[in-house]
Chain A
């Protein structure tokens, strides 16, 4: 497990540069801020460029199944850039989580359309669900249609097709539902760059994607989501660090650069060290997932625990160290604070994650 390559390959660096160029061009902070005021003009075009022009939708899918044949490492590299821009696109929910569920479930027809970027998918669970506490609340009614309500679903707003874990007598099945057949109610979310929705299924017709072990597929998908979201959190932390350092270097008070005050220099030095550790944790989770290394489960839990908290700390420091401007709607710092805080809670909060990690590495929480 020590041989995992924790650096970036040339291919990954080139991929990051092309994503960064596109986002610099099309994903200006003021447009992202506008999504909070209900302006949803940015998303569809931006997502089409990323998914189709750059071909990112199918990164995780092997070529023979209609994808780009890259790996979790490249997907992580992309997420890092998306985090850096707080980009409001469904890459994590569709191209990572839903795609992984379909890869595991073996539905190649649907997979190919999602990989090709023609359709966008979302797994219908509350975004706060940790991979270890998946509960299916949707059931099949007497007519064979789906009934149930799932709240706070990420990616549903943008989805063409919903992947719904359905509780049946002997386990959990995974069903595909056309978005038009469900009632999708966008909710005002803490992080509007990944707006959540409540999904109501009032007798929706569906196709069964996987009969047995739907829960296994969804759990694996959520775990990969958490493992790679760490790279998004890295991108968030990196933006916060770079932006804060840049601002404090330029900002003058008391006749000198504020960045020269030692109290702040030390906080920024700590933030730098923490961000580099975040990179380590995120890269390790990505590379063990890519290699299907036996340590991938531990790596995912570590990354979720570490990177969730570090992104939040970086964003909170960013706001504080900007002073008044950091509190404004106009300055983009809040985009990162909201994204970081939402990511921390999503896919298993850090305390629950550490509790689970304790079981996995034989350091269990005492039973009282």
Chain B
């Protein structure tokens, strides 16, 4: 047998043993998920003892297929995207053993949802400008400041938090990275309504919120380094999963075109097909990226994937509204709600069109991603940074 076959055979044995001991038909959902984590079948690329087996990320797809075929529950990853996609890899890379054991299991099972307290009114693209202050008081840190655009803060148990711990050094050097308890009395979450009508994100006010020093991730003053690890993971997550043809946004428009011949207009056809081709090429580029990573040649294409994804969802949803004509003038519901999951495709075309606008802003704007590609991949000169070497407290603002 090839090593690949041996690995697969071993995974199959482990999955069978899990299913044998915990019949999905009778066992409680959470009990099953905890057992799956303990069997190392949660995210096989994580280390043993932390829900994984130290294998490559690609093998998880195989495990998921086996489990889905057996009718096993999943951990509903959409409910905890920030936890799974950003907090977990950061904790794995920078957490202490104790932090890993405490946080990763309930994070993966979805018992504890996470949010990201990075952006502030004065620090968005320029994230290193964060002004939220954390001041040490013995074994704890006392945190004061305001965060904004915090998705899922209203349902989060924990947050990854970037705060300033030393204002006397230049901005990139004076930050630290914490795990913040969202149930702390010093944390107040207020909904922020979006262009879709709902409030998926929030503003978060931190007033003497207390964070134990044991919940610091990485060394004091190393917050920027840790935050960058988080952001890298955020962008890698896009295009990370294999999907069938037309499974993305283009599927909706294609379905409309096929099932509603009365809406077909000749002048829209070339645009439809151009976008269809681009969506398919983007999907295959995701495949190529995964193949590169599996072959040990991780490239800088991740940022490119996010750029393409954002542009395509916006163009495709725009075309969809135009195709629909009169129906495109209607909207399903402007009522203010605080959704449980972030779903780009869940609602009607008007919602899809509006929500897609966030894709080129959240997780690093498309302009910032172009700067990154130009500087890191194409080695073009960096943007001028007027405030780079000035102590943070002396930056004019």
**Given A273-B304, A363-B254, A280 and B295 contact (CB-CB distance below 8 Å):** no
- 14 CB contacts below 8 A, A to B, read A7-B295, A245-B380, A256-B381, A266-B371, A269-B373, A269-B374, A273-B308, A305-B274, A306-B281, A354-B269, A355-B269, A363-B254, A364-B264, A366-B269
CB-CB under 8 A from A305, the residues of chain B are: 273-274, 277
Contact with A along B141-183 (1 / 0, CB 8 A): 0000000000000000000000000000000000000000000
Q: How many residues of A contact B (CB 8 A)?
A: 43
- Whether, in the assembled complex, B301 has its beta carbon less than 8 Å from a beta carbon of chain A, the answer is yes
Contact with A along B259-276 (1 / 0, CB 8 A): 001001110011011101
Q: B284 contacts A354, CB within 8 Å?
A: no
**Shortest distance from the beta carbon of A162 to any chain B beta carbon, whole Å:** 34
Q: How many A-B residue pairs have CB under 8 A?
A: 126
Contact with B along A261-277 (1 / 0, CB 8 A): 01001101110110011
Q: A6 contacts B378, CB within 8 Å?
A: no
**Shortest distance from the beta carbon of B120 to any chain A beta carbon, whole Å:** 24
Q: A301: nearest residue on chain B (CB-CB)?
A: B277
CB-CB under 8 A from B269, the residues of chain A are: 354-355, 358, 363, 365-366
Q: B281 contacts A281, CB within 8 Å?
A: yes
**Shortest distance from the beta carbon of A352 to any chain B beta carbon, whole Å:** 10
Q: B370 contacts A266, CB within 8 Å?
A: yes
CB-CB under 8 A from B272, the residues of chain A are: 358, 363
Q: B250: nearest residue on chain A (CB-CB)?
A: A363
A209 to B287, CA, bound (A): 41
- Whether, in the assembled complex, B330 has its beta carbon less than 8 Å from a beta carbon of chain A, the answer is no
- Whether, in the assembled complex, A351 has its beta carbon less than 8 Å from a beta carbon of chain B, the answer is yes
Q: A306 contacts B285, CB within 8 Å?
A: no
Q: A265 contacts B261, CB within 8 Å?
A: no
CB-CB under 8 A from A270, the residues of chain B are: 307, 370
In the complex, given contacts A260-B381, A265-B371, what are 18 additional A-B residue pairs having Cβ atoms less than 8 angstroms apart?
A: A1-B245, A2-B244, A4-B287, A6-B288, A6-B291, A249-B379, A262-B383, A272-B373, A277-B278, A277-B281, A281-B277, A281-B284, A284-B284, A354-B270, A354-B274, A355-B273, A365-B266, A366-B261
CB-CB under 8 A from B374, the residues of chain A are: 265-266, 268-269
Q: B307 contacts A268, CB within 8 Å?
A: no
- Whether, in the assembled complex, A259 has its beta carbon less than 8 Å from a beta carbon of chain B, the answer is yes
**Shortest distance from the beta carbon of A226 to any chain B beta carbon, whole Å:** 14
- Whether, in the assembled complex, A361 has its beta carbon less than 8 Å from a beta carbon of chain B, the answer is yes
Q: B276 contacts A259, CB within 8 Å?
A: no
Bin the interface of chain B by size: 35 or more
Pick the most buried of A6, A245, A248: most chain B CB atoms within 10 A of its CB: A6
**Given A2-B242, A269-B373, A365-B266, A259 and B281 contact (CB-CB distance below 8 Å):** no
**Shortest distance from the beta carbon of A130 to any chain B beta carbon, whole Å:** 15
Pick the most buried of B261, B280, B281, B295: most chain A CB atoms within 10 A of its CB: B281
A237 to B61, CA, bound (A): 34
Q: B380: which of A265, A277, A284 is its contact (CB, 8 Å)?
A: A265
- Whether, in the assembled complex, A320 has its beta carbon less than 8 Å from a beta carbon of chain B, the answer is no
Q: A363: which of B244, B276, B297, B304 is its contact (CB, 8 Å)?
A: B276
A366 to B268, CA, bound (A): 10
- Whether, in the assembled complex, B258 has its beta carbon less than 8 Å from a beta carbon of chain A, the answer is yes
- Whether, in the assembled complex, A302 has its beta carbon less than 8 Å from a beta carbon of chain B, the answer is yes
Q: A257: nearest residue on chain B (CB-CB)?
A: B381
CB-CB under 8 A from A5, the residues of chain B are: 291
Q: B301: which of A248, A276, A302, A368 is its contact (CB, 8 Å)?
A: A276
Q: B378: which of A268, A283, A355, A368 is its contact (CB, 8 Å)?
A: A268
Q: B258 contacts A283, CB within 8 Å?
A: no
